[in-house]
Amino acid sequence: MSSNNSRRRDVTVADVAKAANVSKAQAARALGNYGAVSDDVRERVLAAAEELSYRPNELARSMNTGKSHTIGVVVGDIENPHFGLATRGITDTAKKSGYNVILVNTDEEQAAEVDAVQILLDKRVDGLIVAPASSTETEHLQSVYESGRPLVLLDRAANGLAAETVAVNTAGISYESTVHLLDSGHRRIAFISTLKSDSPFKAETQVDSSQISERLDGMFRAFSDKGLAFPHDLVRLNAGDADSIQKITRELLRMPDPATVVVASDGLIALSVLGAIQDLGLSIPEDVSFLMYDDFAWTRLTTPPLTVIAQPVYEMGVAAANALLRQIQGRKASGTAPAFEARLIHRGSVGPAKVLSNS
């Protein structure tokens, strides 16, 4: 009968030293690849370590060397395929350089992000990649930056923080896509986002996310350049789970003056919007047009294929990891940081507005 007491204990450096017939200090230097040690001793130590299935104590190693060979990644929602793809780019890049990734999900909660950053620092990660839940409440990130700990911001900027930021400026592509919708006759353009807000969106609302702020700014500018009034009543924030997103979509499409096109700010929202449109018995684009941010394989498999704003999400993850590794290793930036741009891909989900406004 097995018990905790009968389990095999972890193999220690002392065990390896004994098996290799060397001192503990010699074994430690050979295993840690530091200090002076002869080739003969190193070979004997490594052979003994392999025979005993020795695994190093990473916490002890990090305390001795000051390096854990881990990086912390903090994102708002790992269920969101946008962050899933970015994280894949990060982990692929980190792995090639011998680094592991600790991923923390915050549900876009500011307090959860503050806790996550502190937990990762307590675990002695060598650096942090953070997609900030807020672009204004960033004191915790400012403290990390000022302490000299390597820090890279992903997908979103933080006001007043000079940390390296890997993101697409979406104001331009938002303007381009909105002009396309306006030229197709749409005036009632709805925009749905998960961004948390304490009150309904109004003209004077200050948006606490650089990413969403840029997208709305691009939409505002397009309406303004066309001499049209922006439909503030069709901007819906606080889109949470699938049920709430579907409820919002139904409201937008059942209003006395309904939306003629829905813009989803990410792929997770898009799936729920499409479900609500289907449940209402409406057809795309005959009854309502649809546009979403990010391009995933499934967007080309729907009927019709979806018009999307494609972002180089995986490449952004790779760039964020490379920037952080460069900071960790104390290397200077080589030239200008890569500029990432989004592009509008026209497919079949945007058609002429069913009911044209007189505005």
Evaluate if residue 110 carries a pLDDT over 60. yes
CA distance between the termini of the chain: 81
In this chain, the answer to whether the domains covering 4-56 and 69-168+313-328 adopt an identical fold is: no
Q: How far is it, in rounded angstroms, from Cα 109 to Cα 111?
A: 6
Mean pLDDT within 226-252: 94
- Better-scored residue on pLDDT, 39 or 230: 230
pLDDT band with cut points at 50, 70 and 90 for residue 7 = very low
Domain borders along the chain are: 4-56, 69-168+313-328, 171-312
pLDDT in tens, 49-64: 888 887 766 555 555 5
CATH topology of domain 171-312: Rossmann fold (3.40.50)
With a threshold of 0.85, does the pTM exceed it?
no
Evaluate if residue 357 carries a pLDDT over 50. no
Mean pLDDT within 222-240: 94
Supply the CATH classification number for the domain 69-168+313-328.
3.40.50.2300
pLDDT in tens, 281-334: 999 999 999 999 999 999 999 999 999 999 999 999 999 999 999 999 988 876
pLDDT value, residue 337 = 66
Mean pLDDT, the chain, integer: 88
CATH topology of domain 4-56: 434 Repressor (Amino-terminal Domain) (1.10.260)
Ranking 8-12, 276-280, 325-329 by mean pLDDT, the lowest is 8-12
pLDDT value, residue 240 = 80
